[in-house]
Amino acid sequence: GYALAGSSYATTGWAVTDAVPDQLATLTAFTERFGTASRTIAWGRSYGGLVTTAIAERNPDRIDGSISLCGLVHGGVANWNNTLDPVFAIKTLLAPGTDVPLVNIADQSAADAAADALTTVVDSAQATAEGRARIALAAALHNIPVWNQPTQPRPAGTDWDAQQANQYEAVKGLLKIAAFNRRQEAEARAGGNMSWNTGVDYAKLLGRSSVRKEVTELYRKSGLSLRADLATLKRAPRIGADPNAVAWMSGTSSFTGKLTKPQLSVHTIGDALVPVQTESALQRAVTAAGSASRLRQAYTDNAGHCTFSPAEQLAALHTLEDRLTAGRWVGTDPASLNSRATAADPTSPTRYVPYRPAPYPRPYDLAHPADGR
């Protein structure tokens, strides 16, 4: 059978320096009380996927394999860099001249005020075609998908207005959660601002975005010049990082890609909070480290963050178990995953599909960190 053990962390927030030791301490406590398990699998969802990947890289002797579900597998520096980009575009294009702080946020009250200020700006901009085009551009820099909540209608491929309407809600969610409140908490841990956009070419980032076509169509429809707005972003004063804060975030929350035990990483394709392109960043790091044979990635055709069915999660577990039994990956294709899912729980959806995410806009790993610029 299975034993499931986990821990809340000593503190909340960007608590990787607490989370990894607390998870390992939980494993130690379990082993001392019940004995060594025949297999130990680390798994986590969302931020827990980052913690799981940190354990897989730094404490592989404690586990046999790992599963990351909708995880922040791109690591901390990449995450905060890419979280900066959409709010930089919003402030520059929709609220020029305002004093809303995007980094070095003093406290949670200041974070609330900044989030409220830019949310008001975005709400006002949504009323005009020009504003909607600029919101879409900001969303594209974060690769926010055009279908990102299960409750949203799934827009047609050329229904640019419906696509943007879905992104608009996700952009407001980003402002309300990650861009300010969670950033302020992470900056407090890092000792300063850990992200930058010096040297970033936003035209190039847009060119790699999964939703660039929507942006160009909405700009054409609005009569605005996309080239002119990209030039405005290029001229805008840039934000530099605190080297010590970058070093802290890099040392605690970024990855080498060196896996010595198998990992299965699973993502929904319509995730706005942790976009599916994070999987491209993980693949890039693991390939550079020569560990590609130990990683497999799978995708479910659903919107939302961590919206996996019980069947889909069980399929991931059984796929990793088969890998540990056989000593090689067996049946990691969508059909095999769906078959395992249906066998495990025929009452819940099975939506594994072939998928290849676009490149992550701002990759950063310990093998080649400068590429994030």
CA distances 262 to 272, 321, 356, 365, Å, are 27, 10, 20, 19
pLDDT attached to residue 259: 98
Three state DSSP letters for 86-133: HHHHHHHHHCCCCCCCCCCCCCHHHHHHHHHHHHHHHHHHCCCHHHHH
Predicted confidence band at 371 (pLDDT cuts at 50, 70, 90)? low
Mind listing the pLDDT tens digit for each residue in 68-93?
Answer: 999 999 999 999 999 999 999 999 99
Mind listing the pLDDT tens digit for each residue in 197-213?
Answer: 999 999 999 999 999 99
Contact assessment for residue 323 and residue 337, using Cβ atoms and an 8 Å cutoff: no
Which is it for strands 295-303 and 352-353: parallel, antiparallel or unpaired? antiparallel
Mind listing the pLDDT tens digit for each residue in 146-173?
Answer: 999 999 999 999 999 999 999 999 999 9
Mean predicted lDDT score pLDDT of the chain: 96
Mind listing the pLDDT tens digit for each residue in 341-353?
Answer: 999 999 999 999 9
Residue 97 has pLDDT above 80, yes or no: yes
Predicted confidence band at 101 (pLDDT cuts at 50, 70, 90)? very high
Residue 372 has pLDDT above 60, yes or no: no
Q: At what angle do helices 76-94 and 160-176 cross, to 10 degrees?
A: 110
DSSP code at position 210: T
Query: Region 242-267: what's the mean pLDDT?
Result: 97
Q: Which domains does the chain have, with CATH numbers?
A: 16-75+266-372 (3.40.50.1820), 77-250 (no CATH)
Contact assessment for residue 79 and residue 47, using Cβ atoms and an 8 Å cutoff: no
Backbone angles phi, psi at 128, to 5 degrees: -125, 155
Q: What are the strands, taking DSSP E only, across the chain?
A: 41-45, 65-69, 263-270, 295-303, 352-353
pLDDT attached to residue 357: 97
Residue 64 has pLDDT above 70, yes or no: yes
Query: Region 271-287: what's the mean pLDDT?
Result: 97
DSSP code at position 24: H
pLDDT attached to residue 368: 79
pLDDT attached to residue 9: 86
Residue 133 has pLDDT above 70, yes or no: yes
Residue 234 neighbours by CB under 8 Å, 6+ apart: 201, 202, 203
- What is the rounded CA–CA span in Å between residue 115 and residue 104? 14
Residue 34 neighbours by CB under 8 Å, 6+ apart: 3
